[in-house]
């Protein structure tokens, strides 16, 4: 494939960016009453307003030409057809099969994967309902009250984020806990309040080799045995979610209590698989299936909608536009929903572990900037912290605002103010405030002369700062499923433009290898060769641990 910046579409976009210069969105809105209508989309129950972007009528056709030139149609078809598009691991990429709610078979190497997907889903549902109904009991015959998911990365962030988002749909008896960090404070803090006889552990690890998860799981088992449970009781209190039956059995978990998935499910794309077991436990089988339905509706939209009206395509291309032609190094995700507090952390793994790469699928350097840093916090909290920089800082940082139109908390005044703030922030970022407007405002407040002029530069807002606003009807499982699938496909679209394999993660390996060696050295093995900094730090840690 051609170097990206040499392609005709990229060169046309570069010329267009130069022509566009500092065109003001504010002026574009004033001149064009149809801008909102033309730059909004509905899909799978979601509404996207992308009109507050630095684009004119030529921008999207040029971005779409880039998508076509980079083979987006073919790449998407290859993913849905179960081709081995994860080329460095020689794997298919089929998280879409996990939420394939149609009768259409999906094949990997000529074999339909759907019967196995449905079988695990049915077992998960039965198990979740048994725990929820109090039929699955602990060793004292009491019902389970606490579920502790032990996993990290994709085996933690997805289910943790969704369980928090759907907490209002939770079972009144069941409390969900998530332990990921190797820091003992995490496990100890969660276990401190729990009774082993009423606690169910879900050990979630695709590989069942991840050091954090294995260490936390081993300590949880010791805690369980020390707290009154016997070896024979482990089967009622420990279940596993993994692709690695051998390791699960070696850990001592009954394979009857293992929920499997497959190598074609990437960790960060796995919440739709058995990794979603905590979600099913929390909200029940039917609502877990609604989450899948929402994601499936977005999958159908991604496959069927023309590129120019395709929500993941538009979001992905806008991201490429700012990264490639405005030098935007980060994207702020601001959910105006406290329940979505973990969404930015979830998206950090989804986007940055997928596209945080600098070589193409065939190992050549990517000659354009790739994945931006993803970060954010719920609104309105962020407004009283980092929004200062979004409005008046030196960097251009696009923002994704995300808000549910309806809330279920019964505090309508709060929701009105929440939505008002969400809309106000995207407007303020876009319109800004000119020096003349500041002068008029200060003058009206009774200021004049030098005192007024001294304040003007501090109170000017440059504006013209882009954002998308995504509105959900509410925080239902279906809307959430569609939202997550939207971002998954956006990431895929961007990977195709940049020519990246979005489904491997070799960049996490080096640190793991070195940590394993240093771990042995901290346990007493002789020190190997180290740079002076690392050696000094290891010696300090050894002294502290002695």
Binding site for ligand F6P (CB under 6 A): 152-155, 205-207, 210, 213, 267-268, 353, 505, 508
- Smaller CB separation from ligand F6P, 113 or 265: 265
The DSSP secondary structure of 387-413, one letter per residue, reads HHHHHHSSS---EEEEEES--SSS-HH
- Smaller CB separation from ligand F6P, 7 or 87: 87
- Tell me the pairing of strands 373-375 and 107-108: unpaired
Clarify whether 489 is annotated catalytic: no
Name the residue among 511, 509, 502, 542 with its Cα closest to residue 525. Answer: 542
Question: Would you tell me how many other CB atoms lie within 10 Å of the CB of residue 469?
Answer: 23
Smallest distance, ligand F6P to C-beta of residue 149, A: 12
- Tell me the pairing of strands 46-49 and 40-43: antiparallel
Looking at 119, 246, 512, 525, which residue is catalytic? 512
- Smaller CB separation from ligand F6P, 190 or 350: 350
Smallest distance, ligand F6P to C-beta of residue 356, A: 12
d(CA 443, CA 455): 11
Name the residue among 122, 136, 51 with its Cα closest to residue 429. Answer: 51
Smallest distance, ligand F6P to C-beta of residue 241, A: 9
The two structure tokens encoding residue 217: 């799981």
- Smaller CB separation from ligand F6P, 320 or 484: 484
Residues in the chain, total: 546
Looking at 353, 391, 488, 490, which residue is catalytic? 353
Smallest distance, ligand F6P to C-beta of residue 111, A: 24
The two structure tokens encoding residue 426: 């995207």
Cβ-Cβ contacts under 8 Å for 344 (sequence gap 6 or more): 333, 335, 374, 375, 376, 377
- Smaller CB separation from ligand F6P, 20 or 218: 218
47, β-bridge pairs: 42, 471
Smallest distance, ligand F6P to C-beta of residue 249, A: 17
The two structure tokens encoding residue 322: 């700012």
Clarify whether 186 is annotated catalytic: no
- Smaller CB separation from ligand F6P, 75 or 240: 240
176, β-bridge pairs: 147
Smallest distance, ligand F6P to C-beta of residue 155, A: 4
Helices (H), 372-476: 387-392, 412-431, 435-444, 449-459
d(CA 31, CA 18): 21
Whether the upstream peptide bond of residue 380 has omega within 30° of 0, thus cis, is: yes
Helices (H) and strands (E) in the chain, counts: 24, 13
- Smaller CB separation from ligand F6P, 207 or 392: 207
Looking at 384, 450, 458, 509, which residue is catalytic? 384
Q: Please, are residues 297 and 45 in contact by the beta-carbon 8 Å criterion?
A: yes
Clarify whether 111 is annotated catalytic: no
Smallest distance, ligand F6P to C-beta of residue 214, A: 8
Which residues are known to be catalytic? 353, 384, 512
């Amino acid at each position: 494939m051609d170097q990206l910046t040499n392609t005709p579409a990229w060169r046309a976009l570069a010329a267009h960016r130069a022509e566009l210069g500092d065109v003001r969105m504010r002026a574009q809105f004033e001149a064009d009453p149809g801008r909102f209508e033309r730059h909004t989309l509905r899909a799978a129950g979601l509404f996207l307003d992308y009109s507050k972007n630095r684009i004119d009528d030529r921008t999207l056709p040029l971005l779409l030409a880039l998508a076509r030139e980079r083979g987006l149609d073919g790449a998407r078809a290859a993913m849905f057809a179960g081709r081995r598009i994860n080329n460095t691991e020689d794997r298919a990429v089929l998280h879409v099969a996990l939420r394939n709610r149609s009768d259409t078979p999906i094949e990997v190497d000529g074999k339909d994967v759907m019967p196995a997907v449905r079988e695990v889903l049915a077992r998960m549902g039965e198990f979740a309902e048994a725990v929820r109904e109090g039929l699955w009991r602990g060793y004292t015959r009491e019902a389970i009250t606490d579920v502790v998911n032990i996993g990290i990365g994709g085996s933690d962030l997805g289910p943790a984020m969704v369980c928090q988002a759907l907490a209002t749909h939770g079972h009144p008896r069941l409390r969900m806990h998530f332990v990921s960090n190797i820091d003992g404070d995490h496990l100890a803090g969660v276990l401190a309040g729990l009774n082993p006889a009423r606690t169910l552990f879900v050990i979630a690890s695709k590989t069942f080799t991840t050091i954090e998860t294995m260490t936390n799981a081993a300590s949880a088992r010791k805690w369980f045995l020390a707290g009154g449970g016997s070896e024979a009781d482990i089967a009622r209190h420990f279940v596993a979610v993994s692709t690695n039956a051998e390791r699960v059995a070696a850990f001592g978990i009954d394979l009857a209590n293992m929920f499997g998935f497959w190598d074609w499910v990437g960790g960060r794309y796995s919440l739709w698989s058995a990794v979603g077991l905590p979600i099913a436990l929390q909200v029940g089988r039917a609502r877990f299936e609604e989450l899948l339905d929402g994601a499936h509706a977005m999958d159908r939209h991604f496959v069927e909608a023309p590129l120019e009206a395709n929500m993941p395509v538009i979001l992905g291309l806008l991201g490429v536009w700012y990264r490639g032609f405005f030098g935007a190094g980060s994207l702020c995700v601001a959910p105006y929903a406290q329940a979505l507090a973990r969404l930015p952390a979830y998206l950090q793994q989804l986007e940055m572990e997928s596209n945080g790469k600098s070589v193409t699928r065939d190992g050549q350097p990517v000659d354009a900037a790739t994945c931006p840093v993803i970060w954010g916090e719920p609104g309105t909290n962020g407004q009283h912290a980092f929004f200062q920089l979004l409005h008046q800082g030196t960097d251009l940082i696009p923002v994704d605002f995300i808000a549910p139109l309806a809330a279920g908390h019964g505090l309508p005044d709060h929701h009105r103010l929440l939505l008002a703030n969400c809309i106000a922030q995207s407007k303020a970022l876009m319109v800004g405030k000119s020096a003349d407007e500041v002068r008029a405002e200060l003058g009206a407040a009774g200021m004049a002369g030098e005192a007024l002029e001294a304040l003007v530069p501090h109170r000017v807002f440059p504006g013209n700062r882009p954002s998308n606003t995504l509105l959900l009807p509410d925080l239902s499982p279906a809307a959430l499923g569609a939202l997550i699938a939207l971002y998954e496909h956006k990431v895929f679209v961007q990977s195709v433009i940049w020519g990246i394999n979005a489904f491997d993660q070799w960049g996490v390996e080096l640190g793991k290898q070195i940590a394993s060696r240093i771990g042995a050295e901290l346990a007493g093995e002789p020190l190997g060769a180290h740079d002076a900094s690392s050696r000094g730090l290891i010696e300090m840690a050894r002294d502290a641990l002695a």
